[in-house]
Structure formats: C-alpha cells, structure tokens
Amino acid sequence: MINVGFIGAGNMGYAIMKGIAGSKMGKDIRNPYIGALGIMFYFCRCKEMNRRTKKVLGMKTKFLGVFLMMWAMIGLEAGAQHTANAKKVLVAYFSWSGNTRNLAHQVQELTGGDLFEIETVKAYPEKYRSCTEYAKKEKEADARPALKSKVKDMDAYDVVYVGFPNWWGTAPMAIWSFLEGYDLTGKTVIPFCTHGGGGEQKCFSDFARHAGKADLKKGFICHGGTVGDARPKVERWLEEIGMK
C-alpha cells in the first residue's frame, strides 16, 4: 500500500513537473525548476520514508533519491545553458496619449524584455489639435527632437522592439531621433504601431529606411482604440515572426 502511494505520488510529481516544463518553461523538460522540484521531492520523500517505511523500501528509496538528484543536476546544467543562449530584449516606445504604451506593456509581458520610454526634452502640446499642428511642422522640417534619455547599454540587447503611433502617416520624428542615436547593426529590430484609422501608411516603410543595418522583422499594427483587446493578435504576431 505504501509502495503504491509512493509510486502514485511520484507519477503525480512527474506529471506536474512535465506540465510546468511543457507549458511555461519551454519544450526542454530539463530545467532548473524541475531540478528544484526534484530536490524538493527527494527531501520530502526521504523524510516520509524515514518516519514510516525506512526498512520496507530500503534500496528503492536510495535508487529513487539518486535518480531525482541526477535529474536535478541535469536540469540545472540545462538551465544554465538556456540562460546563456537567451536573447536580451528591449521594448522601447513613444506614446502621446497612452495607446502605444498599453501595447508596449503587452509586448514586454510576452517577451520578457526591458521597457524604455522614448520621451522628448520638449513635451508635445497636451491638446490634440495643437499636437497635430506641432507634429506636422516637425515632420515638414524633418526635425530630430532631442530625447530626454538614452538606453543605458544598448550594446547588450539582441532584439529591440520599437513602438510608436502613426503621426501624419509616418512615425513621430522622435522615433528617428531614437533610431539614429544608436548603432543597430546586427540587432533584430521590430516595429509596432497604433493608428487612428489610417492604418500603416508609410509607418513601416519609413521605419525601415531609418533602421540602419538592423535585421528588420515584420511589424505589428492595430487601431489605437483596440489595443485593450490586442493581446491574442500580439501573441500570434510574435509566433509568426519566430519571437515566441
């Protein structure tokens, strides 16, 4: 009876570990979380065995203990390897009224990247009409508004998402200030955009012209009024471009 319970608990533990590994931690079932669970199981079981069934199980307990410990060690090693290969992700965005910020947070949550807000030294007018007029003048002048801050260690990032609203059929000039402020050679750069009904227009084609020698991937675009429901679409897009 004790044996049956013991094996049952073992199978359940294995199923839980496999479930966690399969769903959240990626396809490889050897990871540090499993290792930690293996160790936990090892200790819990030994304690239990010592109290009630030390004599009955004898060798089996030892064998299972060693097995779990080995599994834990392989898991830890695989975990270390996984961390070493992991790409460092930055999610940079500019947002005037909050839609792109919302989208940027979703991209950040799904990619696990670091968030960076692109802000101009001189704030844009708060009123919509004044802002559109101001932005139009900036576009006509092909301006490069000064930015408040720089990404601390851009060299460390392998993947850079850049989010912005459609302003006058293209990106706000602050996005060109941002892109031109770094050497993006060899980085994967991925735009995402929100619009107010005009769609993509020249947002992504202009973006490509300003992205230097970066390795560009297909951008994501959605209406600013629908960002609240965009998550499934964002997930599908990330899968489509091989980033998830």
Ligand X SMILES: Cc1cc2nc3c(=O)[nH]c(=O)nc-3n(C[C@H](O)[C@H](O)[C@H](O)COP(=O)(O)O)c2cc1C
Binding residues for ligand X (CB under 6 A): 95-101, 128, 131-132, 135, 165-169, 194-198, 224
Question: What is the rounded CA–CA span in Å between residue 196 and residue 83?
Answer: 40
Nearer to ligand X, 120 or 132 (CB): 132
Q: How far is CA 14 from CA 18, 19, 25, in A?
A: 6, 8, 15
Q: Which is nearer to ligand X, 131 or 241 (CB)?
A: 131
| Contact indicator for 103, 163 with CB cutoff of 8 Å | yes
- Closest approach of ligand X to the CB of residue 187, in Å: 23
Backbone angles phi, psi at 158, to 5 degrees: -95, -35
Closest CB to ligand X belongs to which residue? Answer: 224
Which residue from 195, 197, 131, 116 is spatially nearest to 162, judged by alpha carbons?
116
Under 8 Å between Cβ of 190 and 243: yes
* Shortest distance, position 99 Cβ to ligand X, whole Å: 3
Q: Which is nearer to ligand X, 36 or 131 (CB)?
A: 131
Q: What is the dihedral of CA 118, 93, 197, 137, to 10 degrees?
A: 20
Q: 79 vs 224, which CB is nearer to ligand X?
A: 224
Please tell me the distance from the alpha carbon of residue 62 to that of residue 162, in angstroms, as a whole number: 54
Write down the least CB distance from residue 165 to ligand X, Å.
3
Whichever of 76 and 174 has its CB closer to ligand X, that residue is: 174
Task: Look at residue 182 and give its three-state secondary structure.
Answer: coil
> CB of residue 97 vs ligand X: minimum separation in angstroms?
3
Q: For ligand X, which is the closer residue by CB, 99 or 106?
A: 99
Q: Residue 196 Cβ, how far from ligand X at the closest point, in Å?
A: 3
Q: What are the tokens at 93?
A: 């965005």
- Please report how close the Cβ of residue 94 comes to ligand X at its closest, in angstroms: 7
